[in-house]
Structure 1
Amino acid sequence: MWNVARACISSFAPGMIVALLLASALPAAAGTLETVRQRGTVQCGVSEGLYGFSERNGTGEWSGFDVDFCRAVAGAVLNDPAKVTFVPLSAGERFESLRAGRIDLLSRNSTWTLEREARLGLAFAGVTYHDGQGFMVMRDLNVTSALELDQARICVEAGTTSQLNVADFFSANSLTFEERAFPTAAAALEAFQAGQCNVLTRDQSALYAERLKLARPADAVVLPDIISKEPLGPVTRADDFAWFNVVKWVNFALVNAEELGITSGNASEAGGSRKPDVRRFAGAEGGLGRLLGLDDAWAVRAVRAGGNYAEIYERNVGVNSRLGIPRGLNQLWSMGGILYAPPLR
């Protein structure tokens, strides 16, 4: 009997064997896609307020890079980017809220790490923003490098990878520092502005956003040093591979759309293209949507929701936005960056 079973297993590709083992070790799928359809809205966890990524105006309307990704998912699944319920979450409560099913998707400048997947039972659906941790100081501190921060008082948000990374950096460089941890990013920024610390550390993109909240933004400077890899991306529960696949491929679709020249303005016309890769994207051939449990126009709807990757980036955090962050590593692989997505085929 064992010989028969072994022969059957050997017929599978190694990757398929790993997938089967993982599936058997996980709880039964939660059926998130069907739940979202029945509810009629995507419950999306976002930050409590970070310029360029997720912020709410006076009338309660949300905008930002992470917010636009949620809308792309809603566009693909529900054919309406407005069908999103945004749930603001602190760093300390974000993962538990996802695990407990209070949200369907976390799109909240969260770093992809082994521990967060393996220990917490989560699945990161790719990288939407390649970031790295940095430092912000007041100009009157007269430093130009993180290596000059010996004996600094550093404000950091508790429960984040930033807290771990800063300890590693100072230890590796034989520097000392005094940590001042705060429960929220807002509290850490307030303490920095009040002078309780002379350095604020976060992902560098977040530091550009936080600087805008200071009473005198020009008095602060973000140092050029990057001390870590911070691959940020959307997160789902690991017990629902079908929903994870939907979120993952929406991510990839936005990147592929930029590479193919498909934008929010011309996405509806993509089906008339003579190029096979564009036609597959538009659902005019290939029948890929049904493999995700969607119809074949899902990718076009994701792009119509708020644009391809370039449109979303430039509108929210790019050089002509308030944050003014160059694309850098987040440029397409064909343009000198490392942004790369598997093909839709």
Structure 2
Amino acid sequence: MIRRLCATTALALALVACGEREEAAEPSPPPPAAAPSAPATYQPAVSPTLAAVRKRGWLSCGVHPELAGFSVRDVRGVWRGFDVDVCRALAAATLGDANAVRFRPLSAAERFAVLKSGEIDVLSRNTSWTFSRDAGLGVDFPVITYFDGQGFMVRRALNLTSVHELSGARICVQAGTDAEQNLSDYMRARAIDYQAVVVESEEAGRASYQSEACDAMSADLSALAAARTVMNSPTAHVILPDIISKEPLGPAVRQDDPVWADIVRWTMFALIVAEELELRSADVAEAKGLATAPEARRLLGLERELGPLLGLRQDWAFQAIRQVGAYDELFRRNLGEGSALRLARGLNARWNADPPGLLYAPPMR
């Protein structure tokens, strides 16, 4: 009896001890989670280029010395053209004055060196955006302003219909441009024999072509159309339908100032959005007082402080549109039906046009 009682007592004590160990092994509940901290207020970065432009009071813009439709001096010495207007819009956005620009004519060979040296703030000179330039030169291409491609111009009297009929021909092409390499690549891939006549400038190319030192001229289609307008007999020359490359043209900036690249990019986007919203230079001031559509109000500086995010005034886009115009205005007066070139919009039509093109801007919000 006594032995059974002791055994029973020992078993009970053992069970109690085990229960205490099991309870002690249970994990303690985690501490309450800390409340998330409020996000820090974003402080826009400062663009050294914008600061320099404002300090001197004018924008320095590198342009082509003479390319009809893109950059050329008129009879009064005033710069005109599509690339010129891109810089004028940038001056309006950053300084509030589209005329606060000084243009510097640059050759193809010197354009990037002058940009990288800091002698100009932006290069707006019918320049193609390519991998090697973007990754290998220390420059950035913020936006495509004109979608182009390389082609060929020949004399109408030759009755040619295709580049494949140029076997054995002498072809003028400019040195220091992608056109020379594009021409070589295209002809070699198709085993078309030709002789390259390498010239230093568009002017030299036109002179060689007109003097019949070459049978054809190869360059961007827009450049060929521009060259034809200033030849002795423009109607005596035709541009063949063949397009042998993609040439996305646009302004270039130095790679060390991303905020400045954003300013150039969004100034151009603002002009594209203005066309989509049917805002034009002649009536944008009146439209500003009547605007009810949210995107129009944001574009014109009536809602959301978008400009200050780039260090610009609230009315930056409004000034660019009012003083220079929407994208279609720039195109029409310099390259389209209002110009000597009379180029169709083609790929440079809006994405939602009929027929559609490639022109597309991100939302203004």
TM-score by length of 1: 0.90
Conserved 8 A contact 1:270-1:279:
no
Alignment of 1:148 with 2:165, yes or no, is yes
- The answer to whether the aligner puts 1:34 opposite 2:54 as a matched pair is no
1:268 to 285, 293, 301: 285
Equivalent position to 1:123, from 140, 150, 167? 140
Please give the alpha-carbon distance, in whole angstroms, between the structure 2 residues aligned to 1:209 and 1:138. Answer: 16
User: What SS is found at the alignment partner of 2:103?
Assistant: strand
More moved, 267-276 vs 240-249: 267-276
Q: Write the mapping of 1:116-265 to structure 2, written as runs, cut at 5 A.
A: 116-265=133-282
How far 1:30 sits from its partner (Å)?
7.2
Cα contact 2:63–2:84 (8 A) shared by 1: yes
Conservation of the 8 A alpha-carbon contact between 1:255 and 1:341: yes
Give the letter for the 2:325 counterpart.
Answer: G
- 8 Å CA contact retained: 2:349, 2:359: yes
Helix, strand or coil: the match of 1:227? coil
Q: Is the 8 A contact 2:154 2:215 kept in 1?
A: yes
1:340 aligned onto 2:360? yes
Q: Does 2:312 correspond to 1:294?
A: yes
**Cross-structure match for 1:325:** 343
Q: How many percent of aligned residue pairs carry the same amino acid?
A: 49
The CA RMSD measured in Å over matched residues stands at: 1.3
Equivalent positions of 1:49-60 (< 5 A) are: 49-60=66-77
**Inter-partner Cα distance in structure 2 for 1:224 and 1:300:** 39
Q: 2: distance between equivalents of 1:219 and 1:177?
A: 23
Helix, strand or coil: the match of 2:352? helix
Which amino acid in 2 is paired with 1:35? A
Q: Secondary structure at the match of 1:117?
A: helix
Q: Is the 8 A contact 1:125 1:251 kept in 2?
A: no
1:267 Cα deviation (Å)? 1.9
Cα distance change of structure 1 residues 73 and 30 upon mapping to structure 2, 3 Å threshold: closer
The one-letter amino acid of 2:167's match is D
Q: Structure 2: where are the runs of 5+ without partners?
A: 1-45
Q: Gapped runs of 5+ residues in structure 1?
A: 1-28
Whether 2:64 is the aligned partner of 1:44: answer no
**CA displacement at 1:184 relative to structure 2:** 1.2
Output the CA distance in 1 between the equivalents of 2:51 and 2:105.
23
Q: Which amino acid in 2 is paired with 1:176?
A: D
Contact 1:42 1:85 in 2 (8 A): yes
Shift of 1:59: 2.0
Alignment deviations for residues 251-276 of structure 1 (CA, whole Å, 9 cap, x no partner): 11110110011110122234331111
Q: Is the 8 A contact 2:149 2:244 kept in 1?
A: yes
User: Which amino acid counterpart does residue 247 of structure 1 have in structure 2?
Assistant: V
Could you tell me whether the CA contact under 8 Å between 2:128 and 2:247 is conserved in 1?
yes
- Quote the residue 2:22 is aligned against: none
Alpha-carbon contact 1:45-1:108 (below 8 Å) kept: yes
SS at match of 1:231: strand
Shift of 1:141: 2.1
Q: Is the 8 A contact 1:256 1:341 kept in 2?
A: yes
Distance 1:120 1:30 in 2: 20
Residue 46 of structure 1 contacts residue 67 of structure 1 at CA under 8 Å; is this kept in 2? yes
Deviation of 1:223 after TM superposition, in Å, equals 0.9
Q: Does the 8 A contact of 2:47 with 2:259 survive in 1?
A: no
C-alpha contact (below 8 Å) 1:144/1:223 kept by paired residues = yes
How many residue pairs get aligned? The number is 318
Secondary structure of the structure 2 residue equivalent to 1:318: coil
**Greater C-alpha radius of gyration:** 2
Partner of 2:91: 74
* Deviation digits for residues 197-237 of structure 1 (CA, Å, limit 9, x no counterpart): 01101100110110111111111111111110000001100
Q: CA deviation at 1:319?
A: 2.7
CA positional deviation for 1:142: 2.1
